[in-house]
């Protein structure tokens, strides 16, 4: 069954949201979603890194299949994605300091979290072609950003609430994530 780009996008963005349904990138999601200000650049930076990871993985797959070295896949992914992000970071710093300031501080945080590596692994497992891979990465990034932004705005509002002391902190974040995940179940089956 060939999945269209739109289906892949909606799937990664909403129906099987990377964070809320696939459980990827939870650490930054729980850790960095306290403030709306940081949520958007964080989401943008993650999307960008996912795109890089997707491109790298696509290239690595071709190379490794060619060489018959698929058992090196994981190491290759992780090393090459990490260094490519470093490289991009340096290039950014040199040629676009504004963008670097906006995204730069987030890049090292996310060079290799599950969401990023997940993009690479899932696109390989699902045998996506080039366009499909890119759409998948963008959809996953958009989904991550959406979840992050919703979570951050809710958590900002809860700063002004009298949340019981027991529930404050990670427990509340997890419960919120659970509720969001519950709400995202409404999208199940979308794009199919």
Kindly list the residues in this chain that would bind ligand FES in the complex (CB under 6 A): 25-27, 113-114
- For helices 130-158 and 114-125, give the axis angle rounded to 10 degrees: 150
Mark the segment that binds another protein (CB under 8 A) among 49-57, 93-101, 112-120, 132-140.
Answer: 112-120
CB of 118 to ligand FES, least distance (A): 8
Residue 177 partner contact from another protein, ligand FES, none using kind-dependent CB cut-offs of 5 to 8 Å = another protein
Binding status of residue 87 toward another protein by CB under 8 A: yes
Paired tokens of 22 = 């696939």
Binding status of residue 24 toward another protein by CB under 8 A: yes
CB of 100 to another protein, least distance (A): 14
Q: How far does Cα 89 stand from its chain's mean position?
A: 18
Mark the segment that binds another protein (CB under 8 A) among 48-56, 92-100, 133-141, 158-166.
Answer: 158-166
């Amino acid at each position: 069954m060939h999945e269209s780009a739109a289906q892949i996008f909606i799937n990664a963005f909403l129906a099987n949201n990377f964070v809320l349904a696939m459980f990827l990138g939870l650490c930054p999601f729980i850790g960095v979603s306290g403030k709306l200000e940081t949520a958007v650049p964080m989401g943008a930076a993650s999307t960008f890194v996912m795109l890089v990871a997707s491109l790298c993985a696509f290239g690595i797959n071709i190379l490794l299949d060619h060489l018959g070295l698929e058992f090196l896949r994981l190491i290759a992914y992780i090393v090459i994605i990490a260094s490519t992000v470093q490289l991009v970071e340096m290039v950014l710093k040199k040629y676009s300091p504004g963008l670097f300031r906006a995204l730069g501080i987030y890049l090292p945080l996310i060079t290799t979290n599950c969401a990023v590596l997940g993009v690479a692994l899932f696109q390989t497992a699902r045998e996506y072609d080039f366009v499909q891979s890119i759409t998948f990465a963008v959809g996953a990034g958009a989904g991550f950003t959406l979840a992050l932004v919703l979570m951050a705005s809710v958590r900002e509002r809860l700063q002004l609430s009298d949340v019981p002391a027991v529930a404050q902190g990670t427990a509340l974040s997890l419960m919120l994530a659970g509720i969001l995940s519950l709400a995202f179940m409404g999208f199940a089956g979308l794009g199919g």
